[in-house]
Amino acid sequence: MRIGNKFLAALSTALVSALMTGKSSAAGSADPVAAQYYFAGASDLAVNTNFARAWAIFHNPTGTRFMDLALDRWTSVFWDAFQFGPNANASTLLRPALNDLTGAESAGSFGGRDKDRLDFVIAARLNVERAGAWEKSLDVVMHGPGEALVEQGFSGHHWTLPGGGFFWILRARDWTVVGRGDGLSAVCAAYLQHIKQDNRPVAAVKDRWLSADVDWPRLAEWAPISNSPFKLARTVVDVTAENGRMHTTAHVIYPEAIPWTPTPWRIPKDLVNTPLNSFTATQDLQAYMMPNQLLSRLSGNPLAGQLFFWGLREMVLENAAAWPVADATSALRKLAAEAPAVLNPWLAARDKTQFDWFPKADRLIWSKLPFTTPAVDPAHGKDGDFLLAELFPFKPKIVPASDQLWGQFENRNDLVYYDWEITGPRLRQWRLLSELLPILPPPTHADDVRHENAAKNTKLPMIGNEPATPLIITEEWLAELSAVLGNTVTEAVHTSPTELTVTRSSQFLFTSLELVELSHWLADSPIGPIDKSLLPFAKMSGPGMPRTH
């Protein structure tokens, strides 16, 4: 999972360090702003009881090791992307600034007019000591104190870069304002004017910890996001907290109407077993996604209609999906005639697995996976015909879910996506599933060489008597999260033809799958060998079940 482009470095200086993007009040400026944020700062977690769980997660030994690993990695990424050169020590000059941005209240904007350079303006509330350290670090990196700079009565310095453009820094009352280039001069002027009047770069945002306004189509001018599976849109996000839970609201605003078509829900109620630790329902999700070359070649794309996923609480591998069809047997035979030719070349390149059709059993098998042989079968029930895909085909007695689950969405005709999970146990499942399935890209030879070189030049922390690799540190942190996180509920509502409203209630912002993907990306820790400790010592027995000794 290699990241080495200038866009990520400039944008992520604030966005990734804060673990989220956010919004500033400069949206009305004439500058071409692609993304802007407000972040109350991780230090706010310590004094706000609503964030007690998040504070504890980041300030235990595993959380601290993971954050140190991620910040060390991103320090190197930013240093190279800013082309600071090998003349100084990134860990002593840039890393402390990232620590400051993680903890301090800040606001920032990203954009500009130069398509080869993403300009930015960041204002961070720093004490005098840390503000001075930022300026001294720039003195060292840029080989001198630069030229004097005065804006709206505030003093600082600016430095011209050898390849064009420049960096600048200003001390404005309690704030340090730093930026690259002059593509966001109106944003800078607005920040300084607000600081002069209210000692804040943006208006106070009560009860919000994180806010964001990201124009993804505009950001695509700099970002390598053309391969995004979802259609690009402007996204406005706010994160608040109450009674120990975080509440996220995102308004996704599309440049043109989305042709989304709902139909009355047809739920496979008699196929869903319990006890559950997750359940997901989607409807015409394909309308919000970019065309997929592989799925477009299948006549029965499940993303084009209703699709349901669920996982059982006590069995790590017991996950299933179902989608309604008119005639399950005919639909499966048609899928079996198409899927191997379409999907097997892609699977062979990813993990050397394949789909095989067994006509006598009317079963489509995903073969050559370790520990499991997923299958797609026809299913006939009181709710009609479905195609049923099971990751670990095991047939216990069906104990139906309660009507309370179905009542969350079955009478709603505006719901595009509904997801409920018990995030801790579900995270334990995704840690294993990410190793079994082609969810995350496998490490390449270049990744292996890069990690070996990094290990030689980095003093790895010790866990017991062993050096902690990035994979160990990441998985140790995820294991800690698995033990403490509770319910997460996410809904995506079709507000209008051009707007999707996404809401989430959680203890820690992210779902289990997002935590697996985000943590490995932040720490650059590719998935390693299968962790057999995640396999259950099952309470049930049957063909293919792990032994209990």
- Say if residue 21's pLDDT is above 80: no
Residue 460: left if φ>0, alpha if ψ -120 to 50, beta else—which one?
beta
Pairing of strands 276-283, 415-422: antiparallel
Instruction: Specify the higher pLDDT residue, 543 or 100.
Output: 100
- Say if residue 16's pLDDT is above 60: no
Residue 289 DSSP code = B
Strand partners, 37: 108, 212
Taking only the tens place, the pLDDT of each residue in 236-273 is 999 998 888 899 999 999 999 999 999 999 999 999 98
Identity of residue 129: E
- Say if residue 8's pLDDT is above 60: no
99: which 2 tokens? 């620590």
- Say if residue 300's pLDDT is above 70: yes
Taking only the tens place, the pLDDT of each residue in 407-444 is 999 999 999 999 999 999 999 999 988 888 876 565 55
Are 242 and 235 within 8 A, CB to CB? no
pLDDT at 84: 79
pLDDT at 223: 84
Are 249 and 236 within 8 A, CB to CB? no
- Report pTM: 0.87
Q: Give the mean model confidence (pLDDT) for residues 128-156.
A: 93
Please state, in angstroms and rounded to a whole number, the distance separating the CA atoms of residues 263 and 259.
Answer: 13
Instruction: Specify the higher pLDDT residue, 319 or 453.
Output: 319
Q: Give the mean model confidence (pLDDT) for residues 130-152.
A: 92
pLDDT at 267: 96
User: What three-state secondary structure class fits 542?
Assistant: coil
Please state, in angstroms and rounded to a whole number, the distance separating the CA atoms of residues 535 and 13.
Answer: 38
- Say if residue 543's pLDDT is above 90: no
- Say if residue 484's pLDDT is above 80: yes
2: which 2 tokens? 């290699």
DSSP helix, strand, coil percent of the chain (3-state; round to 5)? 35, 25, 40
- Say if residue 167's pLDDT is above 80: yes
Helices (H), 108-257: 128-141, 185-198, 216-219
List, as one string, the DSSP characters of 434-465: HHHSTTSPPPPHHHHHHHHHHHHHS---EETT
Please state, in angstroms and rounded to a whole number, the distance separating the CA atoms of residues 465 and 309.
Answer: 42
pLDDT band, residue 87 (cuts 50/70/90): low
% of the chain beyond a pLDDT of 70 = 85
1: which 2 tokens? 């999972």
Q: Does 255 sit behind a cis peptide bond, omega within 30 degrees of 0 on the bond before it?
A: no
Please state, in angstroms and rounded to a whole number, the distance separating the CA atoms of residues 494 and 519.
Answer: 30
What is the radius of gyration, based on Cα positions, of the chain? 25
Helices (H), 21-127: 43-47, 52-58, 61-81, 90-93, 95-103
- Average pLDDT taken over every residue of the chain: 84
Are 416 and 288 within 8 A, CB to CB? yes
